[in-house]
């Protein structure tokens, strides 16, 4: 028996156009494999140009409310991105008793708790697999495959732009050249700040942690980006047997969660080290199930659109409304988190500099596991320190004191070291 789903699509940008193309090309395949017939009833976009290119101008309107009034439509697909009007459109769709599918991680990170509560009240489903990780089925894995287990941690390479840049820097490019290449290939925006400052990854790890731990956070993830990294750091990491990746990390400890995003050194033998270019990856650790690793293209028109269409198919098979519950959960203060650290210090090449640094580390109870002067015969030389485990508070205080020394002439670069397998 064929089940029909009538869709109203809002937003004919890159992903929205991809959804239309997939439905035009693969409708028969979808019907054969799943028994679901997807009917694109209406699309909504401010401009009709894309609709003309896709030959769907007859079903294109400029007012999304017309889709909500159409009783034939039972699923709204929101693909305009951003906070507003996306948030209003999603809430209005839910109130109109329409199921919602979105790829909008920003609106879910900010308004997700409100959206999920409204969906349960109105007995509709909200699906959002494409919001995190592109074509990686990470949301479904957390909500379905791990539904009978306690997830203990989530580690992820969650931003294709930064991963592409770091891959190119690891191959010898400067940050500036790697960014330019990413922009030329369409992996980076003209203004890449949201990606390179770690904000995009922070929204994604916030969403994953909320679902993984059934947690309601009132604080945002602690976030740092890749702007302070240089080719030198990539080279020094390689010499030490590490690679550098921007990681989103969520770890549950008792009644609080460690939630952060930042560049991390990981062993070159780690499975994450082989995740390159625009590819994303997530490592989940469950109490009973152990570890599961997923990777795939984290961006792109058709990979992301494919996941959106899969959510439409999933709506057809749902026999119940998903009930999500969240308990208010505190974040572990960043100052109390523990890690090993890499520090690159630009020192004046004169006697006493290293001793002054070592003295400050000792005062803060930080044990040094390794130290190397990387260049000679320069007025300012980079010195690399590797510490044993210490709290972020200890490291921050040490860095603050070191920056006041007359022998320290450059901003100290600090990178966490994560011993991931």
Mean pLDDT by 10 residues, the chain (421 residues): 91 94 95 95 92 94 96 96 95 97 95 96 95 91 91 96 94 93 87 94 96 94 93 91 97 93 96 94 94 87 92 87 89 95 89 89 94 76 93 96 91 93 82
Report pLDDT for 402. 94
Tell whether the torsion through CA atoms of 134, 136, 140 and 142 is positive or negative: negative
Asked which of 242, 268, 297 is the last residue of a domain, the reply is 297
Q: Which two tokens stand for residue 126?
A: 């909200």
Tokens for 275, please give them: 């995740």
Contacts of 123 (CB under 8 A, 6+ apart): 97, 321
| Same domain for 173 and 208 | yes
Whether residues 127 and 143 fall in one domain: no
Q: Check whether residue 104 and residue 242 sit in a common domain.
A: no
Residues 173 and 105 in one domain: no
In a domain, 308, yes or no: no
Q: Are residues 270 and 392 in the same domain?
A: no
Contact 408, 421 (CB under 8 A): no
At residue 154, φ and ψ (nearest 5 deg) are: -135, 125
Entry pTM: 0.92
Residues 6+ apart with CB under 8 A from 412: 343, 344, 345, 346, 399, 402, 403
- Shared domain check, 255 and 119: no
Give me the CATH number covering residue 372: 3.30.70.260
**Same domain? 339 vs 191:** no
- CATH code, 155: 3.30.360.10
Structure tokens at 56: 């769907």
Residues 154 and 293 in one domain: yes
Establish if 312 belongs to a structural domain. no
| Same domain, yes or no: 143 and 189 | yes
Q: Nearest 5°: phi and psi at 405? A: -70, 140
Structural domain contains residue 313: no
| Strand 99-102 to 242-253 pairing | unpaired
Tell me which of 77, 108, 131 is where a domain ends: 131
Q: What is the 3-state secondary structure (H, E, C) of 47-114?
A: CCHHHHHCCCHHHEECCCHHHHHCCCCCEEEECCCCCCCHHHHHHHHHHCCCEEEECCHHHHHHHHHH
Q: In whole angstroms, what is the distance from residue 99 CA to residue 109 CA?
A: 19
The verdict on 288 and 210 lying in the same domain is yes
Q: Which of 98, 105, 204, 245 is catalytic?
A: 204
Distance between CA 233 and CA 21 in Å, rounded?
43
Res 337: pLDDT: 95
Q: What is the 3-state secondary structure (H, E, C) of the chain?
A: CCEEEEEEEECCCHHHHHHHHHHHHHHHHHHHHHCEEEEEEEEECCCCHHHHHCCCHHHEECCCHHHHHCCCCCEEEECCCCCCCHHHHHHHHHHCCCEEEECCHHHHHHHHHHHHHHHHHCCCCEECHHHCCCCCCHHHHHHHHCCCCCEEEEEEECCHHHHHHHHHHHCCCCHHHHHHHHHHCCCCCCCCHHHHCCHHHHHHHHHHHHHHHCEECCCCCEECCCCCCCHHHHHHHHHCCEEEEEEEEEEEECCEEEEEEEEEEEECCCHHHHCCCCEEEEEEEECCCEEEEEEEECCCHHHHHHHHHHHHHHHHHCCCCCCCCCEECEECCHHHCEEEEEEEEEEECCCCHHHHHHHHHHHCCCCEEEEEECCCCCCEEEEEEEECCEEHHHHHHHHHHHHCCCCECCCCEEEEECCCC
Overall domain count for the chain: 3
**Residue 274 structural domain:** 138-297
Residue-wise burial string across 195-234, b where 16 or more C-beta atoms lie within 10 A, e elsewhere: bbbbbbbbbbbbbbbbbbbebebeeebbbbbbeebebebb
- For residue 169, tell me if it sits in a domain: yes
**Is 52 annotated in the active site?**
no
Residue 321, domain member (yes or no): no
Phi, psi of 77 (to 5 degrees): -110, 115
> CATH no. for residue 107?
3.40.50.720
The answer to whether residue 319 sits within a structural domain is: no
Instruction: Give pLDDT, residue 193.
Output: 94
Domain presence at residue 259: yes
Does one domain contain both 27 and 117?
yes
Q: If we measure between CA atoms, which residue out of 225, 223, 291, 210 comes closest to residue 257? A: 210
Domain end marker among 108, 131, 154: 131
C-alpha to C-alpha distance for 346 and 339, rounded to whole angstroms? 22
- Mark whether 108 and 36 lie in a shared domain: yes
CA distance 165 to 226: 9
Q: Give a yes or no: residue 203 inside a domain.
A: yes
Give dist(CA 405, CA 178) in Å, integer: 33
């Amino acid at each position: 028996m064929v089940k029909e789903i009538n869709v109203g699509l809002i937003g004919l940008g890159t992903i929205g156009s991809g959804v239309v193309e997939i439905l035009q090309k693969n409708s028969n395949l979808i019907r054969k494999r799943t028994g679901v017939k997807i009917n694109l009833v209406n699309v909504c976009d401010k401009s009709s140009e894309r609709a003309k290119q896709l030959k769907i101008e007859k079903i294109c309107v400029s007012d999304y409310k017309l889709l909500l009034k159409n009783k034939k439509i039972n699923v709204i697909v929101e693909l305009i991105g951003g906070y507003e009007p996306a948030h209003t459109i999603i809430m209005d769709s839910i109130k109109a008793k329409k199921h919602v599918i979105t790829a909008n991680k920003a609106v879910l990170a900010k308004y997700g708790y409100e959206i999920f509560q409204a969906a349960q009240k109105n007995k509709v489903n909200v699906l959002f697999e494409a919001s995190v990780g592109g074509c990686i089925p990470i949301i479904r894995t957390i909500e379905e495959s791990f539904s009978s287990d306690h997830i203990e941690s989530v580690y992820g390479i969650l931003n294709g732009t930064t991963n592409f840049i770091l891959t190119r820097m690891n191959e010898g490019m400067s940050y500036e050249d790697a960014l330019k290449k990413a922009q030329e290939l369409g992996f980076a925006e003209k203004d890449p700040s949201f990606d390179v400052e770690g904000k995009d990854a922070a929204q994604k790890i916030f969403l994953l942690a909320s679902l993984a731990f059934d947690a309601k956070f009132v604080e945002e993830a602690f976030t740092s980006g890749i702007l302070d990294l240089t080719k030198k750091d990539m080279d020094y990491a390689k010499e030490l047997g590490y690679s550098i990746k921007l990681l989103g990390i969520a770890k549950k400890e008792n009644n609080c969660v460690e939630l952060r995003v930042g560049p991390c050194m990981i062993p070159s033998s780690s499975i994450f080290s082989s995740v390159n270019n625009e590819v994303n990856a997530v490592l989940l650790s469950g109490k009973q199930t152990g570890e599961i690793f997923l990777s795939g293209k984290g961006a792109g028109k058709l990979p992301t659109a494919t996941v959106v269409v899969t959510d439409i198919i999933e709506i057809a098979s749902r026999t119940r409304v998903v009930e999500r519950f969240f308990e208010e959960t505190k974040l572990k203060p960043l100052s109390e988190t523990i890690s090993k650290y890499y520090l690159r210090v630009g020192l004046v090449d004169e006697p006493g500099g290293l001793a002054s640094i070592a003295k400050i580390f000792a005062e803060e109870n930080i044990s040094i596991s390794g130290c190397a002067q990387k260049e000679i015969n320069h007025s300012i030389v980079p010195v690399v320190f590797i510490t044993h485990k210490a709290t972020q508070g200890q490291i921050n205080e040490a860095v603050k004191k070191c920056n006041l020394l007359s022998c320290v002439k450059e901003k100290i670069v600090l990178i966490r070291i994560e011993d991931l397998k």
